[in-house]
Structure 1
Amino acid sequence: MEVKLAGQTDLAGFRSEARQLLAHQVPPDEVQWQLQPAGDPFMDPQSPQASRPKNVARAANAIVPASFTRLCEFVVLHRDPARFSLLYRLLWRLVHEPGLRNDPIDADMQQAQHMAHAVRRDIHKMKANLRLRAVQDALGREVHVGCYEPAHHVVEAVAPWFAKRLPATRWAIFTPERSMRCEDGRLLYGPGVAPSELPGPEGTDVDWLACYERVFGAHDSTPVPHA
């Protein structure tokens, strides 16, 4: 059977669907996870999750260790297209094979751990390696801009960290998958920018401002609350 998720990182959707599948005893080899293409790039990325049904079976919660829940938060950000199949297979096995949680060399668990490690490393590299440049917009206001190409789907996971840590009050970061900007503490998202469409290291302030306006200037982006 096909199970549809709202996007590449729809963890809430996965949890909801997985609980229902477990409640109906649907084995992993009968499930095909389908990722819906992203809708309006300026919508709040949490909005698809808000419509998820709440009255689903939660019996597995008492069986599944908290460490697996934390593991899922990173694995869903990996680019491996089979990550949701792997996570549901592990969830199924944790429910039906209690000894799995104490097996440090299980192949499925090791694969998930390696994927989570790769995502953590990607997040760390983006925090450490991203560089911004200050440019002046048409009104003389300073905005810091930069670009980065993460290996995995980590943009929304790392955005709140930048919103807290970057000293600039106005900044924008462009990635191929999704762009983000911050306006006086408000975090907003926009569509991605292909590397071929970015000004690059030799780009002028005019080039970077044109990119900024092209991505954000003509849209009323939706603010996203962050912790």
Structure 2
Amino acid sequence: MLVDGFTTWRAVARELLRAGVPPQAITWGAPGADLFSGAPGEAAQHGGDLLSSQVQAAAQEPSNATAPRPQVPRSLMEMLQTAACFRDHDRWAFLYRVIWRWQQGEHDVQSPADPDGQRLHVMVKAVRREVHDMHAYIRFRERPMEAGAPHFVAWFEPAHDVLPQVAEHFVARMGKVTWMIATPDASVLWDGATLHHTGPLMSSAADLDDAGEALWLTYYRSIFNPARLNTQVMNSHISSRFWKNLPEGALVPSLVSQAGLGARRIGQVEAVGRRSGRTIPIEAEKAQPERQQPSKLDECRRCDLWEHATQAVGGEGPKHAKIMIVGEQPGDQEDLAGQPFVGPAGKLLDRVFEQAGVERKGVYITNAVKHFKWEPRGKRRLHKTPAQKEIEACHYWLEKEIATRKPKVIVAMGGTALKSVLQTGSVTLKDKLGRPVRHGDSWVVTIYHPSYVLRVPDEASKHEAFSVMVEGLKLAQELLDRPDVPEPPEG
């Protein structure tokens, strides 16, 4: 029996089931036409002349006129329709065997535990994968605007008959823009209002060209990192049958060859790839081999916070400021603006400066951690306290800031800043409030972080915490005038 698509097959299969014709009595064929073409009314006419005499006789039995219409669950029919796109020489015969067994009460045929059910599931999975790949790897090329011609054209070589489903996807995605997808067996053309199915209109992607493609290829060369090249992973993620029709596919062999000839080693000079694994505590000076440290804050990859932050936020203020203010980390607004203390905490800090009689523009303001650490809460990014390993990783930058500016007084706002400045995890904020300590060539004064004042629930505690910050800045100003003030004894 000749079958030109799933719609035709379904109409014929329905009549054969009503006639009680078993699978072994039918010979099916497929001319390779469009899978979903053909009307149910034409099915018997197209297929009848190829039926065996036994099948024709069964199909013409008078009792069949009153035979009940076959009942098939929607889930099975959807699987059959998807599996019909799988290119196989006996797919129509196989699909009929599945539906025949179901009608005979063998409902296990839909289960992967059944041999036919397993094959059906494999076919469905392969077709769905092909639809996904076609969505992912189709590349439209822009064409000159001509009357009646599609604005964008793509070439693809699918392994299964999924062009109609993929076409519907792009109709929904591309609106009224005209386009065409060509394959070796068929083509679809969208004119902005109607989808047209035709036979093959192209033989390859060789004739497709796009003025904007040169820009894309330039960008692809710039982002190709030879130091992280892994050809096995590259080939496992994208099959060679896709690479040959991708614009960047022509570049890959030469880029891979250059990596093998030394570009990989050159790429590793600037930074060594991050590797996951157990952290082993060891003194930095004893670690081997010694790795090149980043020279710019934007290039820092010493911890993982950079991956989810908008940008690194460095310090701000006079180069030789006598007072350095150290906070914890940038907040949401600081992460977006690229400046420290510009959000609600920054506004409260401005009030503290005003009450203490200290000009903000005369001090250097920075953070112990330079990237915003956060966790999602709906559409908001909520602050998350940095871990000790992240504080230690970012101390590299704070140490450079202190060494460059040589402040006489460092004001640590909050526990994170205090731990970073003193380089100890055992110190607590409560022990150091209002008590300046000597650290290297600088005095260290500890106060609350502005965000703590904003979080305090009652007004009395809020006022007390605000006063501690004001008094701390006044003390910092006094220490500038009295550098010989002795360090208060412990205890």
**Which of 130, 151, 176 is the aligned partner of 2:184?**
176
Structure 1 counterpart of 2:42, which letter? S
Structure 2 counterpart of 1:91, which letter? I
Query: Residue 20 of structure 1 contacts residue 56 of structure 1 at CA under 8 Å; is this kept in 2?
Result: no
Query: Residue 74 of structure 1 contacts residue 119 of structure 1 at CA under 8 Å; is this kept in 2?
Result: yes
1:60 paired residue number: 70
Q: CA deviation at 1:142?
A: 7.2
Q: Are residues 37 and 58 of structure 1, via their aligned partners in 2, closer, same or farther at CA, if it must alter by over 3 Å?
A: farther
Given the alignment of the two structures, is residue 144 of structure 1 paired with residue 152 of structure 2, yes or no? yes
**Which of 152, 164, 168 is the aligned partner of 1:160?**
168
Structure 2 counterpart of 1:180, which letter? V
For 2:95 and 2:2, the matched residues in 1 are separated by: 15
Given the alignment of the two structures, is residue 24 of structure 1 paired with residue 19 of structure 2, yes or no? yes
- Once the two structures are overlaid, the 10-residue window that deviates more, 78-87 or 27-36, is 27-36
Given the alignment of the two structures, is residue 51 of structure 1 paired with residue 46 of structure 2, yes or no? no
1:221 paired residue number: none
**Which of 88, 91, 96 is the aligned partner of 2:99?**
91
Q: CA deviation at 1:103?
A: 4.6
Matched position secondary structure for 2:159: coil
Given the alignment of the two structures, is residue 12 of structure 1 paired with residue 7 of structure 2, yes or no? yes
Higher RCO, 1 vs 2 (CA within 8 Å, ≥6 residues apart): 1
Q: Are residues 182 and 139 of structure 1, via their aligned partners in 2, closer, same or farther at CA, if it must alter by over 3 Å?
A: closer
Matched position secondary structure for 2:161: coil
2:456 paired residue number: none
For 1:134 and 1:189, the matched residues in 2 are separated by: 21
2:242 paired residue number: none
For 1:102 and 1:143, the matched residues in 2 are separated by: 44
Query: Which runs of 5 or more residues in structure 2 are unaligned?
Result: 45-64, 212-491
User: What are the equivalent positions in structure 2 for 1:207-226 lying under 5 Å apart?
Assistant: none
For 2:194 and 2:66, the matched residues in 1 are separated by: 34
RMSD: 2.8
Q: Are residues 177 and 58 of structure 1, via their aligned partners in 2, closer, same or farther at CA, if it must alter by over 3 Å?
A: farther
Cα offsets for 1:107-144 (capped at 9, x unmatched): 00110110011001101111111111112144598711
Matched position secondary structure for 1:162: helix
Q: CA deviation at 1:66?
A: 2.0
User: What are the equivalent positions in structure 2 for 1:171-210 lying under 5 Å apart?
Assistant: 171-193=179-201, 195=203, 197-199=204-206, 203=209
2:315 paired residue number: none
Q: CA deviation at 1:67?
A: 1.5
For 2:129 and 2:76, the matched residues in 1 are separated by: 19
For 1:142 and 1:25, the matched residues in 2 are separated by: 49
Q: Are residues 102 and 192 of structure 1, via their aligned partners in 2, closer, same or farther at CA, if it must alter by over 3 Å?
A: closer
Query: Residue 19 of structure 1 contacts residue 56 of structure 1 at CA under 8 Å; is this kept in 2?
Result: no
For 1:140 and 1:94, the matched residues in 2 are separated by: 49
Structure 2 counterpart of 1:51, which letter? E
TM-score (norm: length of structure 1): 0.72
Q: CA deviation at 1:47?
A: 4.6
Query: Residue 169 of structure 1 contacts residue 185 of structure 1 at CA under 8 Å; is this kept in 2?
Result: no
Query: Which runs of 5 or more residues in structure 1 are unaligned?
Result: 206-227
**Which of 103, 109, 114 is the aligned partner of 1:106?**
114
For 1:181 and 1:101, the matched residues in 2 are separated by: 38
- Once the two structures are overlaid, the 10-residue window that deviates more, 180-189 or 111-120, is 180-189
- Once the two structures are overlaid, the 10-residue window that deviates more, 88-97 or 120-129, is 88-97
Q: Percent identity?
A: 28
Higher-Rg member (1/2): 2
Aligned length, in residue pairs: 190
TM-score (norm: length of structure 2): 0.35
Query: Residue 77 of structure 1 contacts residue 153 of structure 1 at CA under 8 Å; is this kept in 2?
Result: yes
Query: Residue 101 of structure 2 contacts residue 107 of structure 2 at CA under 8 Å; is this kept in 1?
Result: no
